[in-house]
Structure 1
Amino acid sequence: MKKVLIIYPHWHPANLAGVHRPRLIGNFLKDFGWTPRILTVQEEYFEETPDHDFNRTFSSNFEVTRVKALKTFKPRLIGDIGLRAFYSLCKKAKEIIESEKIDFIWLPIPSFYNSLLGRLIYEKTKVPYGIDYIDPWVRDITNQTGVRAQLSQSVARALEPIAVKKASLISGVSTPYYEPVLKKNFPEFYNKDNELLSETLNSKSGKKIVHVSMPYGFDPNDHEVILPQVKFPWKNDPKDQKNWIYAGAFLPNSHTLLSAFFEAIANLRKKGLWNEKIKLWFVGTGAYPAKSITAYAEEFELQDIVTEKRDRYPFLQVLNFLSAANTVMIIGSTEKHYTASKTFQALLSKKPVFSVFHTESSAVKVMEDCKADEYTVRFDPVEVRKTLVEQFEEKLLNRLNATSWNPDLEVLNKFSAKESARKLVDAMEKVLE
């Protein structure tokens, strides 16, 4: 088998969203003739609360090496584990390449500084590397006015060209996540009609470079794990209560959508069309700096039906929450490149999904293909807010009056983690031809 060295600073028992990318794809790489070789950091250097049940979602295919990192101190000047472990990861990667046959290096980001390892290791070893965009590095920070965010983006604009310069693969959860990188750094990817080619010659390295998009996908085995003693957020509430749940980080570009969503609910309440047995739960939303979900609820006088719990929950607990809820909510982004990996978990919960995405988001296509878009709001930036609120009201009434939910989940197979693994292998093998 060929061997891919996957360098990612977090691994179990950290259940961060980023860990799922190499986990999900790595679970299936051996099906296509590749062995996943993991280089990560020792768990005692993680700041996150450990989730030991999370280990149950990893296959036995991974060969894992862990390194030390700098500890965090007070004041917390450097928190990013990619920076704290940068030297150790780089050193150990070179040692692994010297002692083992490594065919390719794959570096999911964030941590964004992780991408620089590919360039440094390539210069010493000539092993081809690829950078995988779980999130864009240079991105829209319209809703973040702090000095820290501005500085972070200045650093990103300076470092990203260095990291990608001699890459052989650029991948991501969707093409819009990484296409700006191609436009800025690899004009050779575009023909005279400005059409994006699937592969070309990297003018900086003289080697082939390809790009590929593949969603997070899903591992159906995750949904087979039942936690017998899980504590639900609504455990002490009335049995006839209908619980709608949103699970995951509250995104910087979700504010407009959430505000319109709450305004629509407030309008329906005033008209006597809202079901007062419904409670909205927002869990694991994180320590975001902007206006809170709780504050939006107070603004629209919904504090009696909206509860926000910012602390993260373990992954398998969240899957159990989704399966037990009456409705699963997905509040997407005003950015069209946002794909919402949680879409698959929501659909696989087998509970109705109320969602909102940019009208051009690939997540909308997923919902349409599954015939699960009856409660999907499509955000169009050219439309006025009133139109968005009215669309929310329409979709909410659809959900309130619904009698059945029968999506075609077979369609999801083309979005599975196994299919994403196949796409990654095809891309790596193109590079090695």
Structure 2
Amino acid sequence: MPLKYTRTFGIGSLGIRSLPFLQREGDRLLSQQHFDLIYFSTTVFNAMSLGPRWRDRFGIPYVLDFQDPWQSDYYAKTGVKPPGGKFKYSFAQLQAKILEPKAIQKVSHIISVSPTYPEALQKRYPYLSPEQFTVLPFGAPELDFEVLPSLKIQQRIFDPNDGKRHWVYVGRGGNDMALALRSLFLGLQEARHQQPELWQSVHLHFVGTSYAPQGRAEKTVEPIARELGVADLVTEHPYRIPYFEALQVLVESDGILLIGSDDASYTASKLYPCVLARKPILAIFHHQSSVVNILNQCNAGRTLTFKSSDRPEQLLSLIAPQLQWLLSIPKTYQPDTDWQAFQPYTAKEMTRQQCMVFDRCLVPTPIS
């Protein structure tokens, strides 16, 4: 249903607008062709509610892939403003409480990017067994970096030949990242105060921080930079840019920033492209995030960790040396990444594991 009609009634959700049409087209396809398995991999969670319908009508097992939690009490517990505002988020969570139990009840298997999602789902649905879960993060897109030079992409975020050091962050923003951002900018403020001349050539770019369409994106990074007196070092580009242009931004940067949420379950899918860009990485993440373990295990970057209860001032002594390191390394620096340790996170290996999950779902369950 087109937005120009549904917005009249205050409805913009893609899940609501598309659901009857997904159901109709799915019914048609499943009745006319043979399928072995149905795989839902989307954050348009309402679509997952079609799994039980198609299993009952056509006898086809289905797998759900949780890239984010469907039900979440994070914003209620922390008081952080939810995306879209409290009313819209509350309505989305009401739908989740109604539809998630139905979608889960007959699922064959659940894939998730974070180990915390299976824990939460098993608490809500005790009948689920550990064998029904597989934690499978997004795979590292090695092939994309192999073909990138041949595409001759021109990124429009910064000029890599202007003599400056350009540090980049590519990914979403949000109020849940305020602790990491405040820590970073407080560290910048302190470092520049001590050696102002060194920081004249540094600029930080935050790219694609908003999901909102052109003209409606709200900046969440620059206001914090202004508050802490480093706005002249920071530019926020809230709009999303094309995928390969985003990779080119990483490749042409002098350093990559990874900013984490104060939600311990947050797993950044953007981690692997950052590693493959072969640039120095500084990650500021919750100490329980899988990002920390992966970076340390692969020796792909430096990490600064925090707890949800920490204050930016407490991290100042930790972040200052990291910023000095990032500023002091030569432009030609490449991390000494352990590519053998990185191998389990490649797209090829993740695909192999995913296919194993699919195969297991097709083995008939013995009748007891």
Query: TM (normalized to structure 1)?
Result: 0.74
Tell me the residue number matched to 1:98.
Answer: 31
Aligned to 2:347: 417
Q: Which has the higher helix share?
A: 2
Deviation at 1:323, TM superposition (A): 0.3
Is 1:330 aligned to residue 265 of structure 2?
no
Partner of 1:158: 98
Specify whether residues 358 and 322 from structure 1 end up closer, same or farther in structure 2 by C-alpha distance, changes over 3 A only: same
Shift in Å, 1:287: 5.2
Residue 238 of structure 1: how far off its partner (Å): 6.5
CA distance in 1: counterparts of 2:282 and 2:57, whole angstroms: 50
CA change 1:93–1:290 in 2 (3 A) is same
2:133 pairs with 1:211: yes
Q: Secondary structure at the match of 1:182?
A: helix
Displacement of 1:128: 0.7
Partner of 1:73: 4
SS of alignment partner, residue 308 of structure 1: strand
C-alpha deviation, 1:252, in angstroms: 3.7
Deviations 1:5-26 (A, max 9, x none): xxxxxxxxxxxxxxxxxxxxxx
Task: Quickly say closer, same or farther: Cα 1:320–1:335, change in 2 above 3 A.
Answer: same
1:431 matched to 2:361? The reply is: yes
Decide whether the 8 Å contact of 2:39 with 2:63 is kept in 1: yes
Gaps of 5+ in 1: 1-69, 190-196, 200-209
Q: Per-residue deviation at 1:229? A: 5.0
Deviations 1:177-204 (A, max 9, x none): 3431222013452xxxxxxx3x2xxxxx
The one-letter code sitting in structure 2 at the alignment partner of 1:225 is L
* Matched residue, 1:400: 327
One-letter code of the match for 1:370? C
Structure 1: distance between partners of 2:138 and 2:128: 28
Paired residue type of 2:179 = T
Counterpart in the other structure of 1:272: 195
Find the aligned partners of 1:188 and 1:419 in 2 and give their Cα distance.
Answer: 26
Deviations 1:200-253 (A, max 9, x none): xxxxxxxxxx21111111221111223425133123x87210000111211342
Tell me if structure 2 keeps the 8 A contact 1:244–1:278: yes
Distance in 1 separating the partners of 2:45 and 2:66? 9
1:182 aligns with 2:127: no
Instruction: Indicate yes or no: 2:290 matched with 1:366.
Output: no
- Identify the residue that residue 320 of structure 1 maps to in structure 2: 248
Task: Judge conservation of contact 1:260–1:385 (CA < 8 Å) in 2.
Answer: yes
1:372-421 Cα distance to aligned partner (Å, 9 max, x none): 24x31111235444322322223212222335432223322201122222
Question: Shift of the alpha carbon at 1:290?
Answer: 7.4
User: Given residue 165 of structure 2, which amino acid in structure 1 is its aligned partner?
Assistant: K
> Would you identify which runs of 4 or more consecutive aligned residues in structure 1 move more than 4 Å?
287-291
Aligned to 1:340: 268
144-153 vs 108-117, greater mean Cα deviation: 144-153
Q: What RMSD, in angstroms, separates the aligned Cα atoms of the two structures?
A: 2.1
Distance in 2 (alpha carbons) for counterparts of 1:89 and 1:147: 26
In the TM superposition, residue 109 of structure 1 has moved relative to its aligned partner by 2.7
| Distance in 2, Cα, partners of 1:311 & 1:228 | 22
Displacement of 1:176 after TM fit?
1.2
Distance in 2 (alpha carbons) for counterparts of 1:87 and 1:220: 37
- 2:208 and 2:201 map into 1 onto residues whose CA distance is 23
Whether the 8 Å contact between 1:171 and 1:211 is mirrored in structure 2 is yes
Q: Give the 3-state SS of the residue equivalent to 1:307 in structure 2.
A: strand
Which of 69, 81, 88 pairs up with 1:144?
Answer: 81
Partner residue, 1:61:
none
- Is the contact between residue 183 and residue 316 of structure 2 (CA under 8 Å) also seen in structure 1? yes
CA offset at residue 147 of structure 1?
1.9
1:132 counterpart SS class: strand
Shifted more, 277-286 versus 398-407: the winner is 398-407
- Contact kept, 8 Å, 2:211 with 2:240, in 1: the verdict is no
With normalisation by structure 2, the TM-score equals: 0.87
Equivalent in the alignment of 2:366: none
Aligned residues: 344
Q: Secondary structure of the residue that 2:231 maps to in structure 1? A: coil
CA distance in 2, matches of 1:287, 1:128: 32
Structure 2 gaps, min length 5: 364-368
Cα distance between partner residues in 2 of 1:176 and 1:253: 17
Instruction: Tell me the SS of whatever aligns to 2:63.
Output: strand
2:285 and 2:304 in contact (8 A); partners too: yes
Per the alignment, residue 225 of structure 1 pairs with 148
In the alignment, the residues of structure 1 paired with residue 351 and residue 152 of structure 2 have an alpha-carbon distance, to the nearest angstrom, of 31
Which structure features the higher share of strand residues?
1
User: How far has the Cα of 1:341 moved from its partner?
Assistant: 1.0
- CA distance in structure 2 between the partners assigned to 1:380 and 1:170 by the alignment: 29
Q: Is the 8 A contact 2:210 2:218 kept in 1?
A: no
Residue 43 of structure 1 is matched in structure 2 by: none
Is the alpha carbon distance of 1:259 and 1:291 closer, same or farther for their aligned partners in structure 2, counting shifts above 3 Å?
Answer: farther
Shift of 1:279: 0.1
